[in-house]
A and B are shown apart, each in its own frame.
Chain A
Amino acid sequence: MTGPVLSAEIVPRLPRGVRLHDDRVRGCPVLLGPERAVMLDPVGAAILGELDGARSLGEIAARLAERYAAPAEEIGADVAAFVADLAERRLVELGNA
């Protein structure tokens, strides 16, 4: 990953016009936005499912770490990289707590 790592304090959310969709034809969740359809793997879908406009990246990582019994630090890095990539494409908005 390039660019600055996102702070754990940042609160990510899906902006208006970007939404999760259950693609029954292809059998996978997909993130829909302006001229974009991003097919999601189960990890990506789990991360985006945690975005509620209130939870911070740190809180999201902690919840996922608990749910999947995985090291929080590792999960935190994955979550930050995934969210940063989507934010670069304006599919996620970054706010402050």
Chain B
Amino acid sequence: MPDDVARQVPPPPVALLAELTHRCPLSCPYCSNPVEMVPRGSEMNTADWARVFDEAAALGVLQLHLSGGEPAARRDLEDLVAAARGAGLYVNLITSGLGLTEARLDALEAAGLDHVQLSLQGVRPEVSDRIGGVAGAFDRKMALARSVVARGLPLTLNAVMHRHNLDDLPATIMLAEALGARRIEVACVQFHGWAAINRAGLMPTRAQTEAAKATVAAARARLKGRLVIDFVPPDYHADFPKSCMGGWGSTGLNVAPDGTVLPCHAAQSIPGMTFPNVREVPLALAWAHSPAFNAFRGTDWMPEPCRSCDRRSIDQGGCRCQALAILGDAAAPDPVCRRTPGRAQLDRLLAGLPGPEAAPAPLTPRAAVR
């Protein structure tokens, strides 16, 4: 009997991504917030979030990512950092850098902020400011980066890469080095939500992808012990899918601005799923027992060829949202996998995108929400 109960409770999550708000001054064409955003009036208040942080720590969460939108759009950000740190969480701020004055950084530092992750839309000011849609944004980001490093706080650059800036990868890594960042995340755009609308303009060519892999490998060898490089390659060009979220409901969870608890930031794109809300149910219950979190947990849900595949515990069948986006079925194997029939559909889609000789399609920016 105790064994049965134990088996039904999944291991605790390590990380929680708190989308504090969907408001953001930028208008990136690959915005990862859902196409339908949570309006300001529906955002949870300071006390709601503080309770979520306490529940998360009690559940076993170690790493808290304060994200958005732009988390600095929340005037109570300093209080939220203090509450999270008080709960015993490692507090990571994921920011565009806009809206963070020196005075606010002082307050965040005093509140116990552990780590700053700064998004980068490009390494050249004209690319950065065109992609993000805010003139002068690049210079403000650089000023923030220097201030974070001068304070002794660890800095990660989160460089979002795609067809328009992937050729600048060597310069991007050099910028991280010059700024004194401890870590860089080279994150190639994944095609969900708004990014899927701009796929024809954002999808890197195969040659760009191969060059990026070589650049990362060389930089990792050269900068070992100085700069940690995490790399998310454009997976359409891969042979096997990414291990999305380390497996659905396995290591991390998201809480949306209105308290909706999600297995990943794009999960709301899957039709027919009902997600728990932390305003109504405890986080631990949402994690362990909600139908949404159990829908694709483990290996029982898998169709063939995943179910009998020797890679099923490596990639967990890949990304559910990608299966939905390409094949129209969230329960299908990720079509990136060359062992699955869905790959032909992805290849047809790739063949229809602008080739290396053609100009990339123009990008449709997302309207900034303030």
Contact = CB atoms under 8 A, between A and B. Distances in A.
B38 interface: no
Nearest to A92: B225
Interface string A24-53: 011000101111010000000000000000
Interface stretch (B149-157, B242-250, B350-358): B149-157
A74 interface: no
Nearest to A32: B90
Given A17-B153, A25-B12, A34-B92, A88 B224 contact: yes
Contacts of B182: 15, 17, 34, 90
A67 interface: no
Contact of A32 (B63, B156, B230): B63
A17 B183 contact: no
Contacts of A88: 224-225
A34 B62 contact: no
B1 to A, nearest CB: 22
Interface residues of B, number: 26
A90 B226 contact: yes
Interface of A: 15-19, 21, 23, 25-26, 30, 32-35, 37, 87-90
A90 B228 contact: yes
Interface of B: 12, 14, 58-60, 62-63, 88, 90, 92, 114-115, 117, 152-154, 156, 182-183, 185, 224-228, 230
B358 to A, nearest CB: 37
Contacts of B12: 25-26
B74 to A, nearest CB: 22
B225 A17 contact: no
Contacts of B230: 35
A15 B154 contact: yes
Given A15-B154, A16-B153, A35-B92, A90 B115 contact: no
B265 to A, nearest CB: 16
Contacts of B227: 90
A19 B63 CA distance: 12
A32 B62 contact: yes
Contacts of B152: 16
From A19, A30, A35, residue with most partner B Cβ within 10 Å: A35
